[in-house]
Structure 1
Amino acid sequence: MDRFYLENVAKYHSLLGRLDPTPRPRVSTGKAGPNMVVGARIRPLPEDEDFPSAIFPRKIEKNVVDIHDLYNHPKGIPILKSFDYEVDRLYGQDSTTKDIYQDLVTDLVPFTWNGGIGTLFAYGQTGSGKTYTVSRLEEFVAEALMEDNPAGEKEVYMTIIDLAGNAAFDLLAERKPISLLEDSLGTTQLVGAEEHLIHDKDEMINLIHSATSFRQTAATFKNDASSRSHAICRIRIRDPATNSDGLLYLIDLAGSEGARDIASHGADRMRETREINISLSVLKDCIRIRAQADTAAATSPDKTVPYVPFRQSALTRVLKHVFDPASTRPCKTVVIACVNPSLADVGPTKNTFRFAEMLRVLVPPVGKTEYDPAVPMTWDNAQVREWIEKNSGSTAILPHVLAPRETGAQLLALSDTEFEYRCQKCPGVKLAQARAFRLKLWELHVDAQHGKKD
């Protein structure tokens, strides 16, 4: 197929030039929920790449891409086949990992710091920049945790394991085998894995680099060292004062590739590929069911808790508490689908976007609510920021820190600890002021609910 593409590059460009510059718009059926975001990253096309780009982000419709494939028609005349996909966040070839961190991951750090469970998955074909993206995000998280902590000491622990099929290994102990055993409460424990107490940023980054060197890899046509296992970095933040903790998972999923990408087609490699595909399929089901349960709970609190098939894969058994809809702990999940724009990789790229679209759980649109300055539930983000700026007091609570993207309803949904934590990130703001400001917002909300408007 690569030869067909190379022989018809000029034809491909010619067909692209005949396309309608205004493709049919996609009809959105809702927007992303507050606890689940699916993004996609398009890696830069290498300068020495022989194939043209097949991915074209739309300029008018944000987060929508067109993919144009060259089809080898039986009549011998190459034709163009076009596909379009949509995600919640799209990062083009000019985007940096820092952009992705600030947009998708930065909120997971305070969320975890305050006792929540935050999870990031990176998925994609080998050679799509997936492992590079996760490694850089892990470094940004290390900097945020160890350098930007608010007043008050908490303990930060880190464990990094490798899952290859049903086998598990400790990447911080030179790939020592460990066991996955379920305790009396139904939680899968990593028996034998070392949990390292982190003292500073450099120590954390050094451990991350050390773990990367012990990943299970194998050669493919696309990558001399393709990840053939799931790497799970678990960061546990313990509060000694309350004996509670938050969990942040940063997960580099095994590289997905078709049979044409595999350099060796032995029985072990084929079985390995089959196990990876099964685990990714189960993961997709678990993520979707949990996201659907969260959306349903917000609209129908009495709805029956759905069944989540987490026992069907070692990966999802380890992450059971991330997917358990009966859990009372708040969870937020981010998925980043990494793709290579090359025409030669158009097949795996379409599969990656299909996987990303299947993970999206959209909240149905509701009728537009008329803005009322006395009713916080009607505020958009700009109106939230305006209210914060006017009402925070002499020691300013910065609107972009407290509500970087939240609407009034989402600001009210923040836990008291997360609300107060964000306020205290502003210079000079103390806990008492943060609590008083949250109380002021809630008094306004309660008055609005009872029809008392000033």
Structure 2
Amino acid sequence: MATANDDGVKVCIRARPLIRRESGCQAQWELDTQQIKLISNKEKVKSYMFDRVYGDDETTRDVYEEVAEPIVQSAMQGFHGTIFAYGQTSSGKTYTMLGNTNSPGIIPLAVQDIFNMIQKTPEREFLLRASYLEIYNENLKDLLSTEVTTLKIKEDEFKHVRVYGLHEEMVTSPDDVMKLMARGEKLRHMAATNMNDRSSRSHTIFKMIIESRERVDFNRTREVSDDTAVKVAQLNMVDLAGSERASQTGAEGQRL
């Protein structure tokens, strides 16, 4: 998992427990809070350092509060932020980003936090928009639209990367956001591989555009300040396709 913040890129590792098809196997690593030691025949062979390492006894909420929540808070203050999960199929990327009913993932936790912060900031008014983009076979697809349209990615006059033609919808509650995501997930490319019965074969970017300004009493004149200026930020939450070797998946043809 990587997140962009004022210090550049922060790289964190999350180790999941062994799954059913791995029953009878033993974990070939030892974990510390910032280190992974790979083990072969009970001998430590390699060691890797990261900003943070999470073991299988730590929850998605633990990951969110330490890694993602500061990015969400910065976005509410007008700074762009990106959170993405990277790893091979079945490593837990989608589980970490989306979660389930019993254990919400980073995206639903972030969405809930955004609206909680809005409730606690009555002095500002907010406008929220959301989009859901899929990148599959180097093609861009709008997951919030059933129309087949050609999306183009370009830099605008301010050197910002934009996807032209991408549909954005206004949202006013966490429920609105999660309904949009559920709608988009139905249009996402999935396929069975040797590593996962329902594998994400594409990258997706769920983007929330957070726009806010101070509430102004129009019955009196006041000078425009940084607080009264409009703040606009993008919060990008990305679920990447599996990064494993193609030979491991057994994928052929279009899936490959």
Bin for the TM-score computed over the shorter chain: 0.7 to 0.9
1:224 partner SS: strand
State the distance in 2 between where 1:208 and 1:122 align: 17
Bigger radius of gyration among the two:
1
State the distance in 1 between where 2:147 and 2:57 align: 36
Alignment match of 2:174 (pick from 201, 204, 209): 201
State the distance in 2 between where 1:174 and 1:139 align: 24
State the match for 1:123 in structure 2. 86
State the match for 2:209 in structure 1. 236
Cα 1:129–1:244 shift into 2, 3 Å: same
Count of aligned pairs: 227
State the match for 2:111 in structure 1. 142
State the match for 2:234 in structure 1. 247
1:146–1:200: 8 Å Cα contact kept in structure 2? yes
1:169–1:175: 8 Å Cα contact kept in structure 2? no
2:35–2:53: 8 Å Cα contact kept in structure 1? yes
1:128 partner SS: coil
* 2:38 alignment partner AA: I
Whether 2:77 is the aligned partner of 1:114: answer: yes
State the distance in 1 between where 2:20 and 2:152 align: 44
State the distance in 2 between where 1:211 and 1:56 align: 38
Where do 4+ consecutive residues of structure 1 move more than 6 Å? none
1:168–1:177: 8 Å Cα contact kept in structure 2? no
State the distance in 1 between where 2:146 and 2:17 align: 33
State the distance in 2 between where 1:174 and 1:55 align: 45
Whether 2:64 is the aligned partner of 1:98: answer: no
Q: Which runs of 5+ in 1 are unaligned?
A: 1-31, 71-78, 271-454
Alignment match of 1:54 (pick from 28, 37, 58): 28
* 1:51 alignment partner AA: C
State the distance in 2 between where 1:100 and 1:218 align: 28
TM normalised by structure 2 equals 0.80
Give the C-alpha shift of residue 183 in structure 1.
5.1
TM normalised by structure 1 equals 0.47
Alignment match of 1:65 (pick from 28, 36, 40): 36
State the match for 1:179 in structure 2. 151
* 1:55 alignment partner AA: W
| Structure with a larger share of its residues in helix | 1
1:194 partner SS: coil
2:201–2:255: 8 Å Cα contact kept in structure 1? no
1:210 partner SS: helix
1:40–1:91: 8 Å Cα contact kept in structure 2? yes
Cα 1:263–1:144 shift into 2, 3 Å: same
Give the C-alpha shift of residue 35 in structure 1.
3.7
1:178–1:190: 8 Å Cα contact kept in structure 2? no
Cα 1:184–1:88 shift into 2, 3 Å: closer
Give the C-alpha shift of residue 187 in structure 1.
3.6
Cα 1:182–1:199 shift into 2, 3 Å: same
Give the C-alpha shift of residue 190 in structure 1.
2.0
Give the C-alpha shift of residue 47 in structure 1.
5.6
* 2:37 alignment partner AA: D
State the distance in 1 between where 2:116 and 2:6 align: 30
Give the C-alpha shift of residue 191 in structure 1.
2.3
Instruction: Provide Cα deviations, 1:170-209, integer angstroms capped at 9, x if missing partner.
Output: 1112474441242552444322221111111111112122
1:101–1:137: 8 Å Cα contact kept in structure 2? yes
Matches within 5 A, 1:73-92: 82-92=45-55
Matches within 5 A, 1:273-312: none
State the match for 1:258 in structure 2. 245
State the distance in 2 between where 1:223 and 1:50 align: 19
Whether 2:212 is the aligned partner of 1:212: answer: no
Cα 1:250–1:145 shift into 2, 3 Å: same
Give the C-alpha shift of residue 237 in structure 1.
0.5
Q: Which runs of 5+ in 2 are unaligned?
A: 99-104, 214-227
State the distance in 1 between where 2:149 and 2:88 align: 27
State the match for 2:127 in structure 1. 155
State the distance in 2 between where 1:250 and 1:140 align: 12
State the distance in 2 between where 1:175 and 1:133 align: 30
Instruction: Provide Cα deviations, 1:333-388, integer angstroms capped at 9, x if missing partner.
Output: xxxxxxxxxxxxxxxxxxxxxxxxxxxxxxxxxxxxxxxxxxxxxxxxxxxxxxxx
1:138–1:208: 8 Å Cα contact kept in structure 2? no
